[in-house]
Structure 1
Amino acid sequence: MRIVIVGATGNAGTALLRRLRREPGLDLAGVVRRPPRQPTGPYDGVEWHAADIGAGDGALETAFAGADAVVHLGWQIQPSHDERRLHRTNVLGTRAVVDAVVRAGVPALVYASSVGTYAPGPKDEPGVGEDWPHTGVAGSLYSRHKAAVEALLDTAEAEHPRLRIVRMRPGLVFQRDAGAEIGRYFLGPFAPVRLLRFGRIPVVPDHPALRVQAVHADDLADAYARAALGDARGAFNIAAGPVLTPTLAARLFHGRTVGVPGAVLRAGAGLSWRLRLQPTDSGWVELGLRLPLMSTARAERELGWRPAVPADDALRELVAGLADRAHTGSAPLTGSATAPGRLGGVLLRGRLPGSGDPY
């Protein structure tokens, strides 16, 4: 069985390669902008294809030839100040992936959607099902792009009913090896992440609506593998318990909570982003405050999926990875000091947070 993974060197892609290597008889291929130069670990033994999914140059159809399933994990979060570039990769690039899947005659497409595709909803458990409107949160560019792609997939399902499309909608995705990447993408070079080595976050901003879900990358990878290797169709919510709250974070990292109005959280993120002090715009705060909690009952029932790592343990692992700038040998998960979003990248290349292309 041949499985092609678009975005195979990122956070979820690296975990999926680890997971699929445990399956006998699989032929794995990866489509990325910059293939590993000397593949080791999970990247070894993979047939690598260099392609920009937004280019529309025919490279995708070549890579997808003979595939039994394509898993599309490719997504661009930075440079957050360049909306046109993000739209080119995320929306137009996904359209190119779908078109290439159809032209190559691939029977199955597994897509990395997100809780971010959902419209605002309730914050209480057990959470919403997959039938909750997937129209996004208007104040978030990330959410608008995720919703646009889901609308594109709605059209693809109607036009190509024989194509099996699966949409995974995970919460936040954590693992130690993504520490350097997540630090670059969301915190920037001026965040004192080394202080996290002491396992303490002295002050945690608190708001009653800040209730979010997360999943370990290895557990998410297991869900992707089950979808690619099985016969499931449709959307699946993927998250582990417990729900992450400021109170829980303060307890885990020996800090205290300080109540902050939502307007102040949004304004603080927005101002520091516009000043290029950090790469996370206020839309991410909007997501944290407005996205619903999800029920994972369908994934448990139809995929036989269960998370092995509780969300709070996954958060501990990520924080340790942030402190150590944990990384792998891939381009997205690099630990290079001169990568965009690292202080070396700012000093040596003049790339401010949210402006450099991490790919």
Structure 2
Amino acid sequence: MRLLTQGHDVVGLARNRPESWPSAADFVDADIRDAAAVKRALAGAEVVAHCAWANTPGPDERIGHEVNIDGARNVLDAMVETGSRRIVFASTAHVYGGGGGAPKAEHDALTPVTVDGQLNAQVERMVAEAGTEWVAIRSALILGRSVDNWVRRMLALPVFPARSSDHRMQVVHLDDALRLFNQAIVDGEIDSGPVNLAAAGQVTFRQIAAALGRPVVRLGFEPGELQRAQGAPLMDLSRLQHEWGFRPAWESTECIDDFALAVRGRVTVGKRVISLPWRLATIQDLPSVDAPSDDGVKPNLAGAAGDNGEFDTPIDPRFPTFLATNLSEALPGPFSPASASATVRGLRASAVCVAERLRPGARSSAKSRCAWSRCSPTACTARSRPRTSWPRRCLS
């Protein structure tokens, strides 16, 4: 959305289009492992944001290598053929190796010890040797109320193991990560190279457990994902602050407080995160206001054609009746754009919650699943082109 509001054309590439994807941005339904599809998606782009990643080790290491290494190679080859100028890669602190010692700076040697860190370091080398401008954002653990990946699954465990629970670690909020990606995409003066990203301060898993309302107990084992998160080294943020002029808006403790909303009413059972029936879980991924219905019918603005205002809601044309609210009487004032956004999003979130429970028109439990849950994060890319005179591209 940031790129769209700044006047850039945005195109996403993934195997499934999220319902939250705005209609103002194009989308290509394809797999990053499909070299021809990647080339078509990148045609004419100038900046590419590459965020596709499959966690490793996983149930199928072959797929992880195909997505992470072969997928990155497809992106780089397509950039050469289409003339893209810059790539922004979502890397990780794990490229530095294990925890302990002084905070790592961008010029320190890469000595990854985990498979995931090794693959990230390999992609960084590929990006640096591709002959284009490049930025690798080495991020700490990303938190926030909208996070719904392996991090949520890991931190939605009913209990946390006491082992290493006091080990200090860095985190960053999703909003700040997106802001830095946006800066890396649009700022043409940024020098090529890596940059560390983390919020101010450090936290422990014991603090995270307290914020999430999870007990810390002695267990005979420690889940691999927890070991991975705790094993990340601390990073030096001098380049982020002085060369990039970037300061995260969220401090570490604020990140975990906000992330508590992501796991509220949810618990991890095995490899699944389930919602507790007696708790209302946060609606994390709202369908875009103009998302088409399951059968492909696109909504129309409720107002008269050519005379639409900012509160005209797109609605399925098959509904014969429209309802209107008198903002000055029914809603509290003063009514600013921020309060309008919060009100509309709150209404849409409550509608999603009701629909999930009533399941209107559902004939089976399979059909009643949230449509946006079908989006796979393991093969996701996007591209952007500006509407201005110089073309730019992004993959996310």
* TM-score (structure 2 length as normaliser): 0.62
Does 1 or 2 have the higher relative contact order (CA < 8 Å, sep 6+)? 2
Of 226, 231, 254, which residue of structure 2 is paired with 1:313?
Answer: 254
Of 221, 239, 249, which residue of structure 1 is paired with 2:178?
Answer: 221
Do the aligned partners of 1:211 and 1:288 also contact (CA within 8 Å) in 2?
no
Of 237, 244, 249, which residue of structure 2 is paired with 1:296?
Answer: 237
How far apart in 1 are the matches of 2:162 and 2:261? 20
Of 112, 125, 132, which residue of structure 2 is paired with 1:151?
Answer: 125
> Which residue pairs with 2:106 in the alignment?
130
Do the aligned partners of 1:168 and 1:236 also contact (CA within 8 Å) in 2?
yes
> Which residue pairs with 1:164 in the alignment?
133
Shift of 1:186: 3.5
More helix by share: 1
Q: SS at 1:80's partner residue? A: coil
Question: Which one-letter code corresponds to 1:312 in the other structure?
Answer: T
* TM-score (structure 1 length as normaliser): 0.68
Do the aligned partners of 2:165 and 2:206 also contact (CA within 8 Å) in 1?
no
Structure possessing the higher radius of gyration over alpha carbons: 2
How far apart in 1 are the matches of 2:28 and 2:122? 27
> Aligned pair in 2 of structure 1 residues 173, 306: CA closer, same or farther (>3 Å)?
same
Indicate yes or no: 2:39 matched with 1:98: no
How far apart in 1 are the matches of 2:210 and 2:226? 21
How far apart in 2 are the matches of 1:69 and 1:118? 26
> Aligned pair in 2 of structure 1 residues 33, 289: CA closer, same or farther (>3 Å)?
same
> Aligned pair in 2 of structure 1 residues 209, 223: CA closer, same or farther (>3 Å)?
same
> Which residue pairs with 2:34 in the alignment?
55
Do the aligned partners of 2:91 and 2:139 also contact (CA within 8 Å) in 1?
yes
Indicate yes or no: 2:197 matched with 1:244: no
TM-superposition CA deviations, 1:239-278 (whole Å, max 9, x none): 0022121343355356765577xxx5xx442xxxxxxxxx
How far apart in 1 are the matches of 2:101 and 2:22? 38
Of 73, 85, 88, which residue of structure 2 is paired with 1:107?
Answer: 85
How far apart in 2 are the matches of 1:78 and 1:286? 13
Do the aligned partners of 1:204 and 1:255 also contact (CA within 8 Å) in 2?
no
How far apart in 1 are the matches of 2:377 and 2:79? 27
Do the aligned partners of 1:204 and 1:249 also contact (CA within 8 Å) in 2?
no
Q: How does 1:140-289 map to 2 (within 5 A)?
A: 140-156=114-130, 160=131, 163-179=132-148, 181-182=149-150, 185-186=153-154, 191-192=157-158, 205-207=162-164, 210-230=167-187, 231-232=189-190, 233-253=192-212, 267-269=221-223, 282=224, 284-289=225-230
Of 21, 35, 46, which residue of structure 1 is paired with 2:25?
Answer: 46
Q: SS at 1:148's partner residue? A: helix
Q: SS at 1:43's partner residue? A: coil
How far apart in 2 are the matches of 1:259 and 1:66? 55
TM-superposition CA deviations, 1:22-52 (whole Å, max 9, x none): 42x211111111123xx55x63311111221
Alignment RMSD (CA, Å): 3.3
How far apart in 2 are the matches of 1:172 and 1:45? 30
Do the aligned partners of 1:77 and 1:185 also contact (CA within 8 Å) in 2?
no
> Aligned pair in 2 of structure 1 residues 187, 87: CA closer, same or farther (>3 Å)?
farther
> Which residue pairs with 2:382 in the alignment?
none
> Aligned pair in 2 of structure 1 residues 187, 300: CA closer, same or farther (>3 Å)?
closer
Percent same amino acid at aligned positions? 26
Question: Which one-letter code corresponds to 2:25 in the other structure?
Answer: V
TM-superposition CA deviations, 1:140-178 (whole Å, max 9, x none): 33222212212322332xxx2xx1011001111112122
Shift of 1:216: 0.8
How far apart in 2 are the matches of 1:166 and 1:357? 21
> Which residue pairs with 1:32 in the alignment?
14
How far apart in 2 are the matches of 1:131 and 1:287? 23
How far apart in 2 are the matches of 1:185 and 1:97? 29
Do the aligned partners of 1:130 and 1:235 also contact (CA within 8 Å) in 2?
yes
Do the aligned partners of 2:12 and 2:27 also contact (CA within 8 Å) in 1?
yes
Structure 2: segments with no counterpart, 5+ residues: 265-280, 288-351, 358-364, 370-375, 380-396
How far apart in 2 are the matches of 1:104 and 1:73? 19
Shift of 1:310: 1.3
How far apart in 1 are the matches of 2:128 and 2:120? 12
> Which residue pairs with 2:384 in the alignment?
none
Structure 1: segments with no counterpart, 5+ residues: 1-17, 193-200, 270-281, 338-343, 349-355
